[in-house]
Amino acid sequence: MKVAELMSSPLLTVHAERSVRHAAELMERLGVGSLVVEEHGIVVGIVTSRDIRLSHPNRLVADAMTRDPVCVPAEQLIWEALRTMERLKIKRLLVRDGGRACGIVTRNEIRLRISKLQDAMTGLFRPAYVQAIAEKLMAEGVPFHLLFIDVNDFREVNKQYGHPVGDDVIRGYADRLLMLAGADDYVCRYAGDEFVIVTRRPVESLGRLLDALSEPLDTGDVVISTAIGVVSSADEPGLSFRDLVGKASLLSTSRKRKGMAELPPPLLKER
């Protein structure tokens, strides 16, 4: 999902030479928490309700506003915009389409939308997240690796030990993914006991990640292992995200079959 789909538009503006009182009245009438500040038709800042509260009503908007507001392109993904806001500790971003300011997006709006795209059990994103990231990287010509991770014998966990233990396995492995994920990794719960990572890591770092992900996981009740299929977008030019996932999942299944004699089944720990 792109910033353009969430931004408030058209821009609600106030002139830099108007009074803070005027800006406050305008915000109240329009029911908004911020205004874009213009001077001679050029955007020069943003004034928020907090700025208004901290300023004398007779002062000029130019004195109360935040100058040089941070801008993002309308085509930017909402996850990237949220990262920018959290890194800079700001609540709003000005949105530009080319060289023209076209809207405002808030941190709360993005967080709310993102929360609807998260898996309730694990807190990981759903597949639409990594698909959007992967398709953007492909459009920009940025190479990446796609990892398809499948928990071995998960059906047996549910069958032998019950679904509560199975749920613990899924949450436990999701926690491992979150712990290991870095700035260049994008993680989702793809379906059931399957996870997908899109990563821009270099090969050396990717190898270390695969080693860590392949370690047996002790969830407290059960020890489980995984099968991982890896494909590189650079090696598969022209394939869609769906095709890359399909190829990685087949590699995962192949590894699972080849390693079945070596991989231990899920083990119920003695209490």
pLDDT digit string, tens, across residues 119-136: 999 999 999 999 999 999
pLDDT at 271: 35
pLDDT digit string, tens, across residues 188-232: 999 999 999 999 999 889 999 999 998 998 887 788 899 999 999
pTM: 0.72
pLDDT at 137: 93
Q: Cβ neighbours of residue 152 under 8 Å, at least 6 residues apart?
A: 224, 225, 226, 227, 256, 263, 265, 266
Query: Looking at residues 251-269, what average pLDDT do you find?
Result: 58
> Which class does domain 117-262 fall in?
alpha beta
Query: Looking at residues 57-83, what average pLDDT do you find?
Result: 91
For the chain, the average pLDDT equals 89
- Token representation of residue 217: 């996981």
pLDDT at 219: 80
Q: For residue 243, what pLDDT band results from cuts at 50, 70 and 90?
A: very high
**Which residue, chain included where needed, has tokens 């022209």?**
238
Domain boundaries of the chain, sorted by first residue: 3-114, 117-262
pLDDT at 121: 92
pLDDT at 116: 86
Assigned CATH topology for domain 3-114: CBS-domain (3.10.580)
pLDDT digit string, tens, across residues 8-42: 888 899 999 999 999 999 999 999 989 999 998 88
pLDDT at 142: 95
**Whether pLDDT at 257 is above 90:** no
